[in-house]
Amino acid sequence: MKKIAVFTSGGDAPGMNACIRAVVRTGIYHDLEVYGIMYGYDGMINGDIKRMHTHSVSNIVQRGGTILKSARSEEFRTGEGRKKAYEQIKKHGIEGLVAIGGDGTFTGAQILSKEFGIPVIGCPGTIDNDIYGTDFTIGFDTALNTALEAIDKVRDTAAAHDRIFFIEVMGRDSGYIAVECGIGGGAELVMVPETKTSIQDVVKSLKGLRKTKTSSIVVVAEGDEEGGAAEIMEKVKKDINNENLDFKVTTLGHIQRGGNPTAKDRILGSWCGVAAVEGLMQGKTNCMAGIIHEEVVYTDFNDCITKDKPLKKDYLKLIEILSI
With CA atoms as reference, report the closest residue to 256 among 162, 149, 107, 125: 149
The phi, psi pair for 172, rounded to 5°, reads -65, -40
Cα–chain center distance at 223? 14
* Encoded amino acid at 39, one letter: Y
Is 265 among the residues known to form the active site? Answer: no
The phi, psi pair for 274, rounded to 5°, reads -60, -45
| Cβ pair 133, 299 in contact under 8 A | yes
Catalytic residue among 48, 128, 141, 224: 128
Local structure of 4: helix, strand or coil: strand
Burial 165-197 (b: 16+ CB within 10 A, else e): bbbbbbbeebbbbbbbbbbebebbbbbbbbeeb
**Would you say how long the chain is, in residues?**
324
Q: Containing H/E element for 177? A: helix 176-184
With CA atoms as reference, report the closest residue to 32 among 89, 96, 120: 96
Local structure of 302: helix, strand or coil: helix
Q: Which residues pair with 247 in a beta bridge?
A: 164
> What residues act catalytically?
128
